[in-house]
Each structure stands twice: as structure tokens, then as C-alpha cells.
Amino acid sequence: MRILHVTKKFPPVVGGDATAVSSLAQVQSRNGHDVHVLTYRAEGIQETDHVHPVGPMQTLDGLDRIGARRLRGMRAIRVWSREHLAALGIELVHAHAVDVGSAVVRTAKRERIPILLTCHGVWFPYRPRGSLLGWVERSLLHQGYDAISSVDSASVQAIRRAGIPRASLVPNGVDASEFHTPGLAQNPVRFLFVGRHVYQKGIDVLLEATALVRSRLPEPFVLELAGDGPQRQALERRAHSLGLADTVRFLGSLSRPDLIEAYGRATVFVLPSRFEGFPLALLEAWAAGLPVIASKVGGIPDLCNEGNAILVPAGQVEPLADSMISLLRDPIRRQTLGAAGCDLVRTQYTWDAIASSYERLYAECVRPKT
């Protein structure tokens, strides 16, 4: 089957959805499909016969950089799909967000090409009641997709409540072979966060919890923050004001090899998100054999239980600090939790298994409608 993945981001641009689309496309290609990728976050991407970047986008006057790039990105995807979708002989379109889906769905329907929408988390349940943005996000689901899926059960339920009763659950996977588990680092204990530096991720809460741990324990430890985003400078200032200059290290946006190295030297992975879909970084941490502390939100409880992780209430400093202290002082529990998570991802969350689940959805999409 000739498949077109439509996505905002694709490697070397970093992000969980970029990694997910790339990993899925590689497995599908190995399985004999002719796989193409269309993306508008095109920084550093070389165009090939199968990868079609339509950027980078320039900033529009009067609009913020991200909003401008998105608006121009949607237009570029729409124009490209009109010109190339039928000409390339695409047999199925797989869109990986409601905005990029909205840019390609009309052309796909006009050309009678089946289209699947995968939501890597949905955010309208977290919008204020009556929010215009929430209404728009829900409305964008109702554009005639042949099937809709999401990567976590909370998002699937939200999509069903929005009027799509047949929404399906297909989680993300991880390529565990990328990671090594040589034994957890001990001295000093290294806590690791991986993700964008935005409000959603709760890094401010993590810094407050780190300061609390620092005040209670004499043992040295380190917190490494991998990633970047609009809140980074404010977070750096907050870390300094909390007296954490010698404890917290801002690593910035890492290349894939450097990110894997960061997982390899870490002791504990921490994900203090306020809301979350299905965090690929959590799977990666488990693939590296790390114990996990994470917020009990979104798709995280789909993955985590008391045998493989510690779940804490989102946005609360004290429970997060207590959990960090607990694992800092208990190497045996660290080893037990990390091993349980590693076993889980290596048996249930391989990309081969996820690709098989999508094969079933693709078959549903291309099946003649009665």
C-alpha cells in the first residue's frame, strides 16, 4: 500500500510525535509498504522521493512565530496535497493531528483516498468551558475521516463524547533496541526530565519539588532537563532563585544520540505533566531501564501501576518531592520499578505490534462503505 503520513514534525526536528511517525514509517517500509511523509516543520530535512518537506515557514507580520508557522504550514500542506496526492498514487492518508488533517482531508475525500486521523492526545477537555478554541478542536474531528484513533484512552473517551463513537485506541511504541540498560547510576543520583519547556509539562512544579528535596536531604543529586521551549528562560531564572544552580542542568534540545546518552546516565525519570496524552518519553525511559515518577493524568495511568511506577497528583509539589526522596534513598525499589517498566515496553509496546494495530485500522478505512 502507498501510504502518506502527514505530520507537523519529522526528524531531525525533535518531539515525541516526530519520533513516533518516523518509527512507524520505518516499520511499515520494512513490511513492504511504499511510505511517504509530508511535513511543514522542515528545518534540516532533505527532500527525497518519499519525504516531502514544505517549509521552513517565514514569520508573518503581527503574528507570533508558532502561530505564523502553523498557518503557513497548513496552507503549504493544502497546496501540496492538491498538486501531488493523486499524482503520487497515494492509497491511504494518515494524518497525525487535527490541524494537519484539516489541511489534507478535503483533497483526500475529493480524490476518494481513504484517510485516518490519529490524535497524539487531545486538549479540548482541558480548555475552559465555552472556549472557542475547544469548540474549534472538537469541530475539526467532524470532517469525514474514514477512521479516527488516539494514543491514550482518556483522549479516545473525549473523542467519543465529542460525537465520534467509533474512535479507536492505538498507543505509541518504542524501539527498545536503541537503549541500553547497563545498571542504574548511583553517585550522584540523576533525575531526568525530557520534554518541551511549556506550562503543560509542569517543570515549574518539578523545580519547586527539587528545592524541597534539596532542603531535606544531605545527599547530593542532580536534575537534568532535556528539551527547550518558550518557558526555558523563566525556568532558568526560577531555578537560580531557588538556589538550584549547582543541582539543575538545562541540557537544551538534544540530538537523538545525545538524548539516548542522557537516558543512559540517568537514575530516575520524572514526568510532572499537568496534562498529557501518551508520553513517548516515558516509554523511552522504561526502555532504558529507568524507574518512573509521573503525574496521574491523561494516558499515563494506561501505562503505569504501583508495580512499575510512582504516580503523583498533577501540580502538587509535596507528593512529588516525597516520591523523589523515596527513590533517591531506595536503590532496590529503583531497580524493581525500572525492570518492570522495561519488561512491559519490550513485550507490549514494540513498533511492530503498533504497526499491526494500524494495519487493522487501514483495512477498515479502505473497506468499501455499505
82 and 181 inside one domain: no
Predicted local distance difference test score (pLDDT) of residue 25: 94
Do residues 71 and 113 share a domain?
yes
At 300-322, the pLDDT tens digits run 998 999 999 999 999 999 999 99
Report the C-alpha gap between 361 and 325 in whole angstroms.
44
Nearest to 99 by CA among 126, 129, 120, 125: 120
Between 335 and 122, residue with greater pLDDT:
335
User: What is the model's pTM?
Assistant: 0.85
Same domain, 97 and 26: yes
pLDDT, tens digit, 9 for 90 and up, residues 153-187: 999 999 999 999 999 999 999 999 999 876 655 68
pLDDT of residue 57: 37
> For the chain, how many structural domains are there in total?
2
Per-residue confidence band for 137, with pLDDT thresholds at 50, 70 and 90:
confident
> Distances from the Cα of 270 to the Cαs of 150, 282, 351, in angstroms?
24, 9, 24
pLDDT tier, 17 (very low <50, low <70, confident <90, very high otherwise):
confident
The CATH number of whichever domain residue 141 belongs to comes to 3.40.50.2000
Let me know whether 55 and 185 are in one domain: no
Q: Write the CB contacts of 273 (distance below 8 Å, at least 6 apart in sequence).
A: 195, 200, 201, 202, 279, 294, 295, 297, 298, 300, 314
Residues 219 and 334 in one domain: yes
Same domain, 246 and 342: yes
**Residue 23 sits in the same domain as residue 157:** yes
Alpha carbon distance 233, 239 (integer Å): 10
Q: Are residues 204 and 337 in the same domain?
A: yes
What does the pLDDT look like over 35-76, one tens digit per residue? 999 988 656 666 676 777 775 433 333 333 444 456 677 888
In angstroms, the Cα distances linking 52 to 27, 67, 81, 102, 131 are 19, 21, 11, 18, 34
Q: Which residues contact 7 (CB under 8 A, 6 or more apart)?
A: 17, 18, 21, 37, 38, 39, 95, 96, 97, 100
Residues 204 and 336 in one domain: yes
What the block records as the C-alpha cell of 15 is: 518531539
Cell numbers 497515494 label which residue? 90
pLDDT in tens, 189-223: 999 999 999 999 999 999 999 999 999 999 999 99
Sign of torsion over alpha carbons 215, 220, 225, 230: positive
Whether 10 and 135 share a structural domain = yes
Average pLDDT of the chain, as a whole number: 90
Residues 145 and 120 in one domain: yes
Domain that includes residue 107, residue range: 2-173+350-366
The x, y and z cell numbers of residue 3, run together, are 501510504
Q: Are residues 143 and 12 in the same domain?
A: yes
